Structure formats: C-alpha cells, structure tokens
A and B are shown apart, each in its own frame.
Chain A
C-alpha cells in the first residue's frame, strides 16, 4: 500500500518538523522552570516576610492570568526596550526572537504552577522527619538535601508530570502570539496553514492532535519510570501508577 497517497500520513510527515518546535519550547523551559519553581516554593514556605511575599504575589499573578496575555505582555514589553536598550547593544535580533522569548514566558508561567505543586508537597512532608533531622544536628542546608528534597520530589512528582504535559500543550500558544519567522512553525501553526490551503479540517487537525497525544503519552511514560525509581524503597505491592489530574 502506498502510504503517501493517504493525506493523513502525508500530514504526519509534514508536521514532524513543526513538532520539533513544540518539543524545543518545552525542553528549553523545563531546565530553568524546575529549579526556579523549587526556589519559589521554598520562598513561599519561608518564615521571612520579604521572601514569602514576593513569591506569593508572583505565583498568584502568573497562575491567575492567561498565558496568552502573558505572552503578549512580555513580548510588547521587550519590544518597548528595543530602541533604548537592545538596538544600541546590537542584540535585538537575538532578544526579540521567538525561540528566545517563548521559553522565557513559558518558564515564568510554568514555574508559578509548579511552585504551587512543590509548595503543597513541602507542606505535606512528615513533621517527624524534619524534627529528626534537626535533632541529629543537621544545618538548614543538610536538612534540605537529606529530608526535604527527596520527600518533596517524590510527593510532587505525579502532579509535576501533569504540569509538564500542560507546559507542552501550552507551547501551542507560542506562535499565536509571537511573530512567525520564515518556516519556523509549530504544530498548530502549520496545521492552520495546511487547513487554509485545502480546508481539510479533520485530516490536518487530527494529525496535529496525534502528535500532541503521542508526546504527552511519552512524557507520562518516561515520568512513570522515574517515579518507580523514586519510590523503589517503598514496598508497595500494587504497581505504582501515575494519576494525572485533568486540570492544570
């Protein structure tokens, strides 16, 4: 059978490169979003008001407003510095590039959501373990690495996986808000473009949906392997399952 005769398979081939853009945006955001979220969560649990308060405001603001607006706001803010800052420095090409701005906004957004997850995990660490750490004379740094960090990671992992999937879905918004440069298009963008050519809605959109679906499932799968590793010391007879939430 000739697969190239089927429009759906043609689409899967065409959409492969655009899918890489979505993957790039997600992969570029996670390494920065993850540590930033943990710092925010730690700041939110801090007893010092000047640390706690900014973290709370940041998390509330970025969880309470749409990513779509955040993209527009951040991009136009960067644009307004173009004449005074970026151009004299000669970096406007780079700084205003979607491949640079996109991950920044995604990091701000995802770290707010993830910080709330880690904050919840930090609060549900068994009190006894923290007290034990203090009783054995650990300093704050040791207490974090020995008790808080492993507990937090294990407790937050299923919810964090869910957040990573939502982050990947959120990458669909990048090119709706930022300028598209040449052939640098992501899944939604390319699918809409193909749709405008021949109006075959079902074919193009379901091909894009298949990419999102497969990559989301891959994320869940890889993450469940890591979760198994995290919980290897817990003698649970039942197979450990990730129970992703439906909502962000």
Chain B
C-alpha cells in the first residue's frame, strides 16, 4: 500500500496515519471492499429480474382469463401481509429442495426413497451450493419478492396510459399484442418511474440481508473485521470495533440511497421530456 503513495506525500503523513492506511488496506479489508460486489450484483440483477417479474405479474393481473388474473392478484397481494425476509429465505430453500427432490428420482433407489425420513432422500441427492449458486438464488429471490411490488406499480402505470392512445393504435390496425407491447408498455414507464424508484430503494436496503442467504457480504465482513482482534505476535490489535464498521455501512447505504434518488430524478426528467405537466 505504502508503495502506492506518491513519494512527496509520505513524509507529510504522520506515522499514525500511515499505520491506519496500512491497516485499512490489509488483505482482510481488501476482501471486505471486494465483497461489495455481491451487494451490487444482487441489487442490479435483482432489480432487473424484479422488473421482468413485475411486467409478468402486471400482465397476469390484466389478463382476460380469470384464473390467470387470480394468480396475478395472489402474487401481488401476498407480499402485503407477509414480511419480505420470510420470502427471501423461503425461495432459495424451496428451489434447493425442489432440485434435490428431482434428483432423488434419478439417483436414489426406490428403497432409499421409501426408507428416508428426513432430507435429502438419499446422500446422492444432496446439493451443496457454492456461493455463486447462492448468489444467483438470492438474485431470483429478490426478483420474485420485489417483482410483486413492481407488478403493483406497473399495473397502476399501465392503467394510467391514456385510453385514447391505445384506441388510436387499435384503429391504425395494430394487433392486441402489438398495442400492449409497443404502446401500453412503452408509454407506462413515465408513470411507473416514481413507484419503481421506491421499489428500488427498498431493494437496495434489502440487499443487506444477503448474509442470511449464506453469502459473505459486506455486513458479514464488517462483523468479522470489527470483532476484537488479537494476534499472538502483535498483541491486541484493536478492541471491539464493530459499531465503527457498522456505522460505515450505515453511511454507505445512506449514500447509495442518495445516489439512487438523484439518478431516478434524472431519469424522470429525461423520461417526461415533451410531456405536458400539471404544475
């Protein structure tokens, strides 16, 4: 680390500052900074998947066929009475068990399946997930849960698109699916943006829960680094510093919220170019 500092700077810094810089750039801290990628990946991939699931949920809600509409309504209302953390834990585990159950029919003998009392049904049908796989499952989990929120937003936005525009498209001879995709979905983004911004802010905050899904993310690392650090060689490096590390995360999340708000304000400004706004 010290090598990376420009030569003229080193004498200006006190010994303590250099020590602190060394401490903050040791291997464990670099691993902590690097683990931020999990948060970013989960937020971005989860957010994109949430929009996909949101579109799906909204079009189900809008469906002409009643059973599809029911599925859409159940999907979008279930998140209202049940905490998101329950779903976040549930979906990865459910998928894991589903895969293991499928495997059990391939790799277990019928006797083993019949004898099994617990889970997995036999040793061959056990799926030990790597952290990449956990991360993918976590992204889908975020996508499904926040997709339900997004579906509500998108559904409302779709209905806010002026009817006349859709009728005009129909009159020009576009088919129903063309009207849906090229007019309704394209026009609704302006109305959906404020709501989607809120979904995104909730999603960012939910990324702090990654450590519950067996991922060694920034929160997990902060706990490890902050714990009282004793080395036989050096003595007590530092006492319990956990609150300092968590405070850094606290500030980091506030910063992410602030930047997201700025970004969505910019998007909103751009998306509503040329629109007549009631001031």
Binding site for B on A (CB under 8 A): 60-61, 63-70, 72-73, 76-77, 79-80, 165, 169-170, 172-173, 176, 188, 192, 195, 198-199, 201-202, 205, 208-209, 212-213, 216-217, 244, 246-248
Contacts and interface: CB of A to CB of B under 8 A. Distances in A.
Given A76-B226, A77-B243, A188 B254 contact: no
B216 interface: no
A188 B253 contact: no
Given A176-B212, A209-B82, A192 B202 contact: no
21 contacts: A64-B253, A64-B258, A65-B205, A66-B253, A69-B246, A76-B243, A169-B83, A169-B84, A170-B83, A172-B86, A176-B212, A188-B89, A198-B118, A199-B118, A201-B90, A201-B94, A205-B86, A216-B81, A247-B149, A247-B195, A247-B198
Nearest to B206: A66
B81 A66 contact: no
Contacts of A208: 86
B68 interface: no
Contact of B81 (A68, A77, A199, A212): A212
A188 B86 contact: yes
A202 B246 CA distance: 34
B247 interface: yes
**Pairs A-B, 3 closest by C-beta atoms:** A199-B119, A169-B83, A64-B257
Given A65-B254, A66-B205, A248-B202, A72 B82 contact: no
B86 A70 contact: no
Given A169-B83, A173-B85, A69 B240 contact: no
Contacts of A205: 86, 89-90
A212 B82 contact: yes
Contact of B208 (A68, A79, A198, A216): A68
B64 interface: no
B152 A195 contact: no
Contacts of A69: 208, 219, 246, 249-250, 253
A199 B6 CA distance: 57
B224 interface: no
A11 to B, nearest CB: 14
B93 interface: yes
Nearest to B85: A172
B242 interface: yes
Contact of B240 (A80, A188, A247): A80
B152 A246 contact: yes
A194 B136 CA distance: 26
Contacts of B206: 66
B199 interface: yes
Contact of A72 (B76, B199, B201, B219): B219
B97 A246 contact: no
Contacts of B179: none
B208 A246 contact: no
B209 A68 contact: yes
